[in-house]
Amino acid sequence: MLLIGLGGSWLMSYLWARSLAKGLRLTRERRFGWAQVGDRLEERFTLYNDGWAPALWIEILDHSTLPEYHVSRATGLGRGSQTHWITRGLCTQRGLFTLGPTTLRSGDPFAFYTVTLPCLASDSLMVLPPIVPLPAIRVAPGGRSGEGRPRPYTLERTTTASTVRPYTPGDSPRWIHWPTTAHQGAPFVRLFDGAPTGDWWIVLDMDQTVQVGAGQVSTEEHGIILAASLAELGLRAGRSVGLVAQGETLLWLPPQAGATQRFKILQALALLRPGTCPLAEVLEGARAALGRQASLLLITAAAEGQWLATLLPLRQRGMVPTVLLLEPLSFGGTISPNVTLARLGEQGISHHLIPRDLLDRPEARPGAQGHWAWRVLASGRVIATQRPDEAEWRELR
Protein backbone atom coordinates (compact mmCIF):
# COMPACT_ATOMS: atom_id res chain seq x y z
CA MET A 1 0.00 0.00 0.00
CA LEU A 2 2.88 2.34 0.83
CA LEU A 3 4.54 1.57 -2.49
CA ILE A 4 1.29 2.09 -4.38
CA GLY A 5 0.64 5.37 -2.50
CA LEU A 6 4.13 6.75 -3.15
CA GLY A 7 4.09 5.60 -6.74
CA GLY A 8 0.67 7.11 -7.33
CA SER A 9 1.74 10.39 -5.73
CA TRP A 10 4.88 10.50 -7.83
CA LEU A 11 2.94 9.80 -11.03
CA MET A 12 0.31 12.41 -10.18
CA SER A 13 3.02 14.99 -9.38
CA TYR A 14 4.78 14.23 -12.65
CA LEU A 15 1.61 14.67 -14.71
CA TRP A 16 0.72 17.82 -12.71
CA ALA A 17 4.12 19.33 -13.37
CA ARG A 18 3.91 18.51 -17.09
CA SER A 19 0.54 20.26 -17.28
CA LEU A 20 1.99 23.35 -15.61
CA ALA A 21 5.03 23.31 -17.88
CA LYS A 22 2.87 23.24 -20.99
CA GLY A 23 0.01 25.44 -19.80
CA LEU A 24 1.60 28.36 -17.94
CA ARG A 25 2.59 31.46 -19.90
CA LEU A 26 3.04 35.15 -19.16
CA THR A 27 2.76 38.28 -21.29
CA ARG A 28 4.06 41.75 -20.37
CA GLU A 29 2.86 45.02 -21.88
CA ARG A 30 3.97 48.54 -21.13
CA ARG A 31 2.92 52.04 -21.92
CA PHE A 32 5.21 54.72 -23.40
CA GLY A 33 8.23 54.09 -25.60
CA TRP A 34 10.61 56.20 -23.52
CA ALA A 35 10.47 58.19 -20.30
CA GLN A 36 12.10 61.04 -18.42
CA VAL A 37 13.21 61.12 -14.82
CA GLY A 38 10.06 61.67 -12.76
CA ASP A 39 7.74 59.94 -15.24
CA ARG A 40 5.55 57.07 -14.08
CA LEU A 41 6.00 53.68 -15.72
CA GLU A 42 3.07 51.27 -16.09
CA GLU A 43 3.18 47.60 -17.05
CA ARG A 44 0.36 45.10 -17.45
CA PHE A 45 1.02 41.43 -16.72
CA THR A 46 -1.31 38.66 -17.94
CA LEU A 47 -0.81 35.14 -16.61
CA TYR A 48 -2.45 32.17 -18.36
CA ASN A 49 -2.91 28.58 -17.28
CA ASP A 50 -4.17 26.53 -20.25
CA GLY A 51 -3.49 23.17 -18.60
CA TRP A 52 -5.85 20.83 -16.76
CA ALA A 53 -4.04 21.17 -13.41
CA PRO A 54 -4.35 24.28 -11.22
CA ALA A 55 -1.22 26.17 -10.20
CA LEU A 56 -1.47 26.30 -6.42
CA TRP A 57 1.56 28.56 -6.18
CA ILE A 58 3.44 30.59 -8.79
CA GLU A 59 6.47 32.82 -8.31
CA ILE A 60 6.99 35.59 -10.86
CA LEU A 61 10.66 36.64 -10.74
CA ASP A 62 11.47 39.85 -12.63
CA HIS A 63 14.97 40.55 -13.94
CA SER A 64 14.50 44.18 -14.98
CA THR A 65 17.41 46.57 -14.45
CA LEU A 66 15.38 49.73 -13.79
CA PRO A 67 16.36 51.04 -10.33
CA GLU A 68 13.74 50.95 -7.58
CA TYR A 69 11.31 49.01 -9.77
CA HIS A 70 10.10 45.83 -8.10
CA VAL A 71 7.39 43.73 -9.76
CA SER A 72 8.22 40.21 -8.56
CA ARG A 73 5.31 38.55 -6.79
CA ALA A 74 3.69 35.24 -5.79
CA THR A 75 0.20 34.13 -6.78
CA GLY A 76 -1.90 31.14 -7.76
CA LEU A 77 -4.11 30.33 -10.74
CA GLY A 78 -6.85 27.82 -11.43
CA ARG A 79 -6.91 25.52 -14.40
CA GLY A 80 -8.02 26.96 -17.75
CA SER A 81 -8.08 30.50 -16.43
CA GLN A 82 -6.14 33.73 -16.57
CA THR A 83 -5.45 36.76 -14.41
CA HIS A 84 -3.87 40.14 -14.98
CA TRP A 85 -2.55 42.98 -12.88
CA ILE A 86 -0.92 46.38 -13.42
CA THR A 87 2.31 47.51 -11.81
CA ARG A 88 3.46 51.10 -11.50
CA GLY A 89 6.85 52.53 -10.80
CA LEU A 90 8.67 55.85 -10.89
CA CYS A 91 11.66 56.51 -13.15
CA THR A 92 14.22 57.89 -10.72
CA GLN A 93 17.47 57.61 -12.67
CA ARG A 94 18.57 58.44 -16.21
CA GLY A 95 20.08 55.77 -18.43
CA LEU A 96 19.29 52.81 -20.64
CA PHE A 97 17.56 49.97 -18.79
CA THR A 98 15.89 46.66 -19.60
CA LEU A 99 12.38 45.56 -18.70
CA GLY A 100 12.34 41.79 -18.38
CA PRO A 101 13.05 38.97 -18.90
CA THR A 102 10.88 37.13 -16.39
CA THR A 103 11.00 33.68 -14.81
CA LEU A 104 7.98 31.63 -13.67
CA ARG A 105 8.41 29.02 -10.94
CA SER A 106 5.70 26.62 -9.86
CA GLY A 107 5.28 23.00 -8.83
CA ASP A 108 3.03 20.14 -7.86
CA PRO A 109 1.18 20.00 -4.49
CA PHE A 110 3.59 17.38 -3.04
CA ALA A 111 6.72 19.39 -3.97
CA PHE A 112 8.20 16.46 -5.88
CA TYR A 113 8.81 18.61 -8.96
CA THR A 114 9.58 22.28 -9.53
CA VAL A 115 8.71 23.83 -12.88
CA THR A 116 10.89 26.75 -14.04
CA LEU A 117 9.74 28.59 -17.15
CA PRO A 118 11.93 31.39 -18.59
CA CYS A 119 9.92 34.15 -20.26
CA LEU A 120 12.51 35.78 -22.48
CA ALA A 121 10.39 38.74 -23.61
CA SER A 122 12.18 41.99 -22.80
CA ASP A 123 12.44 45.54 -24.02
CA SER A 124 14.79 48.49 -23.58
CA LEU A 125 13.67 51.60 -21.78
CA MET A 126 15.51 54.87 -22.29
CA VAL A 127 15.06 57.22 -19.32
CA LEU A 128 16.02 60.74 -20.39
CA PRO A 129 17.20 63.44 -18.00
CA PRO A 130 14.51 65.85 -16.88
CA ILE A 131 13.90 69.32 -18.28
CA VAL A 132 13.04 71.82 -15.55
CA PRO A 133 11.97 75.47 -15.67
CA LEU A 134 14.95 77.74 -15.07
CA PRO A 135 15.05 81.20 -13.53
CA ALA A 136 16.23 84.12 -15.59
CA ILE A 137 19.68 83.10 -16.84
CA ARG A 138 21.15 85.66 -19.19
CA VAL A 139 23.14 84.02 -21.97
CA ALA A 140 25.69 86.37 -23.49
CA PRO A 141 24.71 86.54 -27.17
CA GLY A 142 27.07 85.75 -29.98
CA GLY A 143 26.42 85.67 -33.68
CA ARG A 144 26.24 87.72 -36.83
CA SER A 145 25.03 91.21 -37.38
CA GLY A 146 21.43 91.83 -38.23
CA GLU A 147 20.10 89.36 -35.64
CA GLY A 148 18.75 90.04 -32.15
CA ARG A 149 19.86 92.86 -29.88
CA PRO A 150 22.82 95.07 -30.81
CA ARG A 151 26.07 94.31 -29.02
CA PRO A 152 29.29 96.28 -29.45
CA TYR A 153 32.59 94.74 -30.48
CA THR A 154 31.17 92.10 -32.75
CA LEU A 155 33.52 90.90 -35.47
CA GLU A 156 31.19 91.53 -38.42
CA ARG A 157 30.88 93.87 -41.39
CA THR A 158 28.34 96.58 -40.54
CA THR A 159 28.19 100.29 -41.31
CA THR A 160 30.07 101.28 -38.15
CA ALA A 161 33.48 100.09 -36.90
CA SER A 162 33.98 100.67 -33.18
CA THR A 163 37.61 99.66 -32.55
CA VAL A 164 40.41 97.36 -33.68
CA ARG A 165 42.28 94.40 -32.28
CA PRO A 166 45.37 92.36 -33.29
CA TYR A 167 44.94 89.93 -36.14
CA THR A 168 44.52 86.24 -35.23
CA PRO A 169 44.83 83.29 -37.64
CA GLY A 170 41.52 82.66 -39.37
CA ASP A 171 40.36 86.28 -39.53
CA SER A 172 39.14 87.42 -42.93
CA PRO A 173 41.49 89.75 -44.84
CA ARG A 174 38.45 91.96 -45.48
CA TRP A 175 38.49 93.00 -41.80
CA ILE A 176 42.10 94.28 -41.81
CA HIS A 177 42.35 97.95 -40.82
CA TRP A 178 45.21 99.11 -43.02
CA PRO A 179 45.95 102.50 -41.39
CA THR A 180 46.43 100.90 -37.96
CA THR A 181 48.37 98.01 -39.52
CA ALA A 182 50.76 100.47 -41.17
CA HIS A 183 51.13 102.55 -37.99
CA GLN A 184 51.73 99.58 -35.67
CA GLY A 185 53.79 97.49 -38.05
CA ALA A 186 51.58 94.46 -37.42
CA PRO A 187 48.16 93.42 -38.81
CA PHE A 188 45.06 94.67 -37.02
CA VAL A 189 41.41 93.91 -37.81
CA ARG A 190 38.28 95.96 -37.26
CA LEU A 191 35.60 95.22 -34.66
CA PHE A 192 32.11 96.24 -35.72
CA ASP A 193 28.91 97.03 -33.92
CA GLY A 194 26.63 94.10 -34.51
CA ALA A 195 23.58 92.32 -33.28
CA PRO A 196 24.35 88.72 -32.35
CA THR A 197 22.15 85.75 -31.58
CA GLY A 198 24.17 82.91 -33.05
CA ASP A 199 24.43 79.23 -32.28
CA TRP A 200 24.65 77.89 -28.75
CA TRP A 201 27.48 75.56 -27.84
CA ILE A 202 26.85 73.88 -24.46
CA VAL A 203 30.07 72.52 -22.95
CA LEU A 204 29.49 70.25 -19.95
CA ASP A 205 32.39 69.45 -17.63
CA MET A 206 32.28 65.70 -16.82
CA ASP A 207 35.66 65.46 -15.12
CA GLN A 208 35.00 63.11 -12.21
CA THR A 209 37.74 64.68 -10.08
CA VAL A 210 35.79 67.94 -9.68
CA GLN A 211 32.33 66.46 -9.06
CA VAL A 212 30.80 66.87 -5.60
CA GLY A 213 27.97 64.96 -3.96
CA ALA A 214 26.51 61.53 -4.64
CA GLY A 215 23.62 60.08 -6.60
CA GLN A 216 20.88 62.44 -7.65
CA VAL A 217 22.19 65.10 -5.25
CA SER A 218 25.48 65.70 -7.03
CA THR A 219 27.02 68.24 -9.36
CA GLU A 220 27.19 65.53 -12.03
CA GLU A 221 23.41 65.02 -12.14
CA HIS A 222 22.60 68.71 -11.68
CA GLY A 223 24.99 69.61 -14.48
CA ILE A 224 23.23 67.18 -16.82
CA ILE A 225 19.80 68.53 -15.82
CA LEU A 226 21.07 72.07 -16.39
CA ALA A 227 22.48 71.15 -19.82
CA ALA A 228 19.18 69.52 -20.86
CA SER A 229 17.15 72.49 -19.65
CA LEU A 230 19.40 75.03 -21.37
CA ALA A 231 19.22 73.05 -24.62
CA GLU A 232 15.43 73.11 -24.41
CA LEU A 233 15.52 76.84 -23.72
CA GLY A 234 17.69 77.53 -26.74
CA LEU A 235 15.77 75.27 -29.11
CA ARG A 236 12.47 76.83 -28.10
CA ALA A 237 13.96 80.24 -28.87
CA GLY A 238 14.83 79.09 -32.39
CA ARG A 239 18.56 78.69 -31.79
CA SER A 240 20.76 75.94 -33.17
CA VAL A 241 22.16 74.16 -30.12
CA GLY A 242 25.22 71.92 -29.92
CA LEU A 243 26.68 69.88 -27.07
CA VAL A 244 30.24 68.95 -26.11
CA ALA A 245 31.23 66.75 -23.16
CA GLN A 246 34.16 64.47 -22.43
CA GLY A 247 33.10 61.62 -20.17
CA GLU A 248 34.06 58.00 -20.67
CA THR A 249 33.83 58.85 -24.37
CA LEU A 250 33.70 62.12 -26.30
CA LEU A 251 30.23 63.52 -26.85
CA TRP A 252 30.08 65.90 -29.81
CA LEU A 253 26.79 67.10 -31.30
CA PRO A 254 27.13 70.01 -33.78
CA PRO A 255 24.53 72.79 -33.49
CA GLN A 256 21.19 72.07 -35.08
CA ALA A 257 17.64 73.21 -34.47
CA GLY A 258 14.38 71.36 -34.09
CA ALA A 259 12.80 68.52 -32.13
CA THR A 260 15.20 65.93 -33.56
CA GLN A 261 18.17 67.74 -32.04
CA ARG A 262 16.34 67.95 -28.72
CA PHE A 263 15.94 64.17 -28.58
CA LYS A 264 19.57 63.61 -29.66
CA ILE A 265 20.82 65.82 -26.84
CA LEU A 266 18.59 64.21 -24.22
CA GLN A 267 19.53 60.72 -25.38
CA ALA A 268 23.25 61.54 -25.28
CA LEU A 269 22.93 63.07 -21.81
CA ALA A 270 21.03 60.01 -20.57
CA LEU A 271 24.01 57.78 -21.38
CA LEU A 272 26.76 60.17 -20.33
CA ARG A 273 29.13 59.02 -17.57
CA PRO A 274 32.03 60.94 -15.96
CA GLY A 275 35.55 60.60 -17.27
CA THR A 276 39.04 61.77 -16.38
CA CYS A 277 39.60 64.56 -18.93
CA PRO A 278 39.90 68.06 -17.35
CA LEU A 279 37.76 70.86 -18.73
CA ALA A 280 40.84 72.83 -19.87
CA GLU A 281 41.85 69.98 -22.18
CA VAL A 282 38.33 69.70 -23.56
CA LEU A 283 38.22 73.41 -24.41
CA GLU A 284 41.71 73.32 -25.87
CA GLY A 285 40.92 70.33 -28.06
CA ALA A 286 37.59 71.76 -29.23
CA ARG A 287 38.82 75.29 -29.91
CA ALA A 288 39.42 74.84 -33.63
CA ALA A 289 36.12 73.04 -34.22
CA LEU A 290 33.76 75.28 -32.24
CA GLY A 291 33.60 77.86 -34.99
CA ARG A 292 33.04 81.59 -34.55
CA GLN A 293 30.36 84.07 -33.51
CA ALA A 294 28.54 81.69 -31.19
CA SER A 295 27.49 81.63 -27.56
CA LEU A 296 29.53 79.27 -25.38
CA LEU A 297 27.58 78.00 -22.35
CA LEU A 298 30.07 76.46 -19.96
CA ILE A 299 28.72 74.24 -17.14
CA THR A 300 31.25 73.16 -14.54
CA ALA A 301 31.81 72.44 -10.86
CA ALA A 302 35.55 73.19 -11.07
CA ALA A 303 35.57 76.08 -8.60
CA GLU A 304 39.35 76.54 -8.65
CA GLY A 305 39.15 77.86 -12.22
CA GLN A 306 42.16 76.21 -13.88
CA TRP A 307 40.17 76.34 -17.14
CA LEU A 308 39.95 80.16 -17.21
CA ALA A 309 43.11 80.54 -19.30
CA THR A 310 41.57 78.54 -22.15
CA LEU A 311 38.70 81.02 -22.55
CA LEU A 312 40.93 83.82 -23.91
CA PRO A 313 41.75 82.07 -27.24
CA LEU A 314 38.07 81.23 -27.65
CA ARG A 315 37.08 84.87 -27.11
CA GLN A 316 39.65 85.95 -29.67
CA ARG A 317 37.93 83.68 -32.17
CA GLY A 318 34.61 85.44 -31.55
CA MET A 319 33.09 83.00 -29.06
CA VAL A 320 31.07 84.71 -26.32
CA PRO A 321 31.21 82.65 -23.10
CA THR A 322 28.64 82.39 -20.33
CA VAL A 323 29.83 80.39 -17.32
CA LEU A 324 27.37 78.50 -15.12
CA LEU A 325 29.35 77.49 -12.05
CA LEU A 326 27.77 74.80 -9.87
CA GLU A 327 28.36 75.88 -6.27
CA PRO A 328 30.39 73.09 -4.62
CA LEU A 329 29.63 74.22 -1.07
CA SER A 330 25.90 73.60 -1.46
CA PHE A 331 26.63 70.01 -2.58
CA GLY A 332 28.85 69.27 0.41
CA GLY A 333 32.16 70.41 -1.08
CA THR A 334 34.88 72.46 0.61
CA ILE A 335 36.18 74.74 -2.17
CA SER A 336 34.78 78.26 -2.35
CA PRO A 337 34.11 79.64 -5.85
CA ASN A 338 34.57 83.31 -4.83
CA VAL A 339 38.04 83.71 -6.35
CA THR A 340 36.91 82.25 -9.69
CA LEU A 341 33.80 84.44 -9.72
CA ALA A 342 35.94 87.51 -9.08
CA ARG A 343 38.26 86.63 -11.96
CA LEU A 344 35.29 86.12 -14.27
CA GLY A 345 33.98 89.53 -13.28
CA GLU A 346 37.36 91.16 -13.91
CA GLN A 347 37.48 89.69 -17.41
CA GLY A 348 33.92 90.79 -18.18
CA ILE A 349 32.65 87.23 -18.67
CA SER A 350 28.97 86.68 -18.02
CA HIS A 351 28.54 84.13 -15.22
CA HIS A 352 25.98 82.62 -12.86
CA LEU A 353 26.41 80.71 -9.62
CA ILE A 354 24.13 77.65 -9.54
CA PRO A 355 23.35 76.40 -6.01
CA ARG A 356 21.88 73.00 -5.29
CA ASP A 357 18.42 74.26 -4.39
CA LEU A 358 17.98 75.95 -7.79
CA LEU A 359 16.91 72.63 -9.32
CA ASP A 360 15.41 71.21 -6.12
CA ARG A 361 12.52 73.67 -5.99
CA PRO A 362 9.05 72.08 -5.78
CA GLU A 363 7.91 73.86 -8.94
CA ALA A 364 10.93 72.44 -10.79
CA ARG A 365 10.10 68.81 -10.10
CA PRO A 366 10.13 66.99 -13.44
CA GLY A 367 8.04 64.17 -14.79
CA ALA A 368 4.63 64.40 -16.41
CA GLN A 369 4.25 61.15 -18.33
CA GLY A 370 1.99 58.68 -16.58
CA HIS A 371 0.54 61.35 -14.26
CA TRP A 372 -2.76 63.19 -14.32
CA ALA A 373 -2.67 66.81 -15.53
CA TRP A 374 -5.40 69.33 -14.79
CA ARG A 375 -6.46 72.76 -16.02
CA VAL A 376 -8.80 75.24 -14.37
CA LEU A 377 -11.19 76.99 -16.75
CA ALA A 378 -12.26 80.61 -16.40
CA SER A 379 -15.58 79.41 -15.00
CA GLY A 380 -13.79 77.59 -12.20
CA ARG A 381 -14.39 74.13 -13.62
CA VAL A 382 -11.44 71.73 -13.45
CA ILE A 383 -10.86 69.43 -16.43
CA ALA A 384 -8.26 66.73 -17.07
CA THR A 385 -5.82 67.61 -19.86
CA GLN A 386 -3.83 64.37 -19.54
CA ARG A 387 -4.95 60.93 -18.45
CA PRO A 388 -2.45 58.16 -17.60
CA ASP A 389 -4.63 55.55 -19.30
CA GLU A 390 -4.70 57.30 -22.69
CA ALA A 391 -1.54 55.63 -23.99
CA GLU A 392 -1.78 52.24 -25.68
CA TRP A 393 -0.25 49.05 -24.31
CA ARG A 394 2.72 47.56 -26.15
CA GLU A 395 3.72 43.93 -25.62
CA LEU A 396 7.30 43.06 -24.72
CA ARG A 397 8.86 40.64 -27.18
Q: What is the model's pTM? A: 0.76
pLDDT by residue (tens digit) across 172-202?
677 788 888 888 888 887 765 443 457 899 9
- Measured CA distances, 208 to 71, 274, 300 (Å): 34, 5, 11
Alpha-carbon span 50 to 81, nearest angstrom? 7
| Cβ–Cβ under 8 Å, residues 119 and 104 | yes
pLDDT by residue (tens digit) across 342-383?
999 998 899 999 998 887 755 555 555 544 454 544 544 444
For residue 163, how many other CB atoms are within 10 A of its CB?
13
pLDDT at 46 over 90: yes
Helix (H, G, I), strand (E, B) or coil at 197: coil
Q: What percent of the chain has pLDDT over 90?
A: 51
Question: For residue 251, what are the β-bridge partners?
Answer: 245
The count of C-alpha atoms lying within 13 angstroms of the C-alpha of 377, restricted to the half-sphere facing its C-beta, is: 6
245/171: higher pLDDT? 245
Q: What is the DSSP letter of 258?
A: S
Q: How many helices (DSSP H) and strands (DSSP E) are in the chain?
A: 7, 24
148/345: higher pLDDT? 345
Domains of the chain: 9-128 (2.60.40.3880), 156-193 (no CATH), 195-364 (3.40.50.410)
pLDDT by residue (tens digit) across 281-327?
999 988 888 867 788 999 999 999 889 999 888 888 888 899 999 99
Task: Tell me which amino acid residue 200 is.
Answer: W
